[in-house]
Amino acid sequence: MTAAAWLAAGAVVALATVVQSATGMGFGIVAVPLLVLVAPQLGIGAVLAITVVVMIVAAWSERRWLHRGDLMRASVAAVPGIVAGTLIAHVTPAAATQVVVGAVVVAASALSLLAWRARMTPASVAVAGGLGGALTPIAALPGPPMAVVYRPDEVRTMRATLSAYFAVTSVLSLISLSLSAGRAGAGPLGLDALAGLALAPAVIVGAVAAAPLVRRIPAGAVRTAALILSLVSGAVLAARGIVA
C-alpha cells in the first residue's frame, strides 16, 4: 500500500475507535466500509485483527460488568455461523462481497437510526450470536445482529459483553479462515492480519482523542453522526460492487 493509503486507513481506524469509545459499539460498522473504500488492499484478515485489538481493550476496561452467561450463549451459537460464513467467504466473488457488506451496513445503520430493537431473550441472543458469527468471516461485521437484540438494563454490561463477543468471533473467524485455506495463519491471510495489527497505533490515537470528546459531545450525537456516515459509505460500497 502507498503511504497515503496507510494514513487514510489509520484515520479510519482512529475515527472508528472514537465512535466505539463514545458509544460502546460501532467500530465495525464505521471501519469496514470505509477501509474497503480507502484501502482496498487490506483484506478480511486485517480488519479482523485490528477488531480483536480494539475489542479486547474495550472489554477489559469494563470487565467488571461482563455478563458471562450472555457471552457464552452468543459465542457458542456463533461457532456454526462462523463455519458457514467461512465456506461462503471462500466461494463469494469480491464484488458480491462488497454488495453484501454494503447492504448489511445500510440496513443496520437505518435500523439503528430508527431506534428499532428486537425483543431480548436467551433465544434471540443465541440467534443473533449465530448470525453475527456468520457475518464475521464474510464481512468482519458481527455487530449488526447483536446490536438490534442485545440491550441489557446496564449499558456497561452491554459494552463489555458485546466487545468480548466481537473479540471472540473475530479470533475464531481468523482461525477458521486460515484452516479452511490450509494455511493455519500463514501465507496471505497471516500477512494480511499482520497488516491489520500495524494499524494498532491508530487505535491509541483514537482512544486518546475520544477522552476529551466523550466529555464534551453527547454520545448520542456521535453515534448518530457515525451511523449517517456508515449508511452513506455502505451505500457507496454496495453501488461499487454492483457496477464492478
**How long a stretch of residues is the chain?**
244
Helix, strand or coil for residue 94? Answer: helix
Enter the pTM of the model: 0.84
Query: What interhelical angle do 94-113 and 219-243 show, nearest 10?
Result: 150
Average pLDDT for residues 81-85, to the nearest whole number?
94
- pLDDT digit string (tens) for 114-145? 877 778 999 999 999 999 999 899 888 888 88
Neighbours of 86 (CB within 10 A): 23
Cα–Cα distances in angstroms (integers) from residue 214 to residues 37, 106, 109, 207, 209, in the given order: 27, 25, 21, 10, 9
Question: Which pLDDT does position 244 carry in this prediction?
Answer: 65
CA separation (Å) from 58 to 96, 146, 167? 32, 16, 10
3-12, 70-79, 94-103, 132-141: least confidently modelled range? 94-103
Residue 63 has pLDDT above 80, yes or no: yes
| 235 phi/psi in degrees, rounded to 5 | -65, -40
Count of the separate structural domains present in the chain: 1
Element (H, E) at 22: helix 3-23
Alpha carbons 111 and 130: distance in angstroms, whole number: 19
Residue 53 to residue 176: CA distance in whole angstroms = 18
Backbone angles phi, psi at 115, to 5 degrees: 60, 30
- Predicted confidence band at 188 (pLDDT cuts at 50, 70, 90)? low
For the segment 54-58, the average pLDDT, to the nearest whole number, is 89
Q: Say which amino acid occupies 220.
A: G
- % of the chain surpassing 90 pLDDT: 36
Under DSSP, the state recorded for 1 is -
Specify the DSSP element, H or E, that contains 216: helix 200-216
- Which residue range is the domain that position 145 belongs to? 3-243
Whole-number pLDDT of residue 186: 42
Torsion sign (Cα): 209, 150, 225, 43:
positive
Residue 183 has pLDDT above 60, yes or no: no
Cell of 81: 455461523
CA dist., res. 132 & res. 225, Å (int): 23
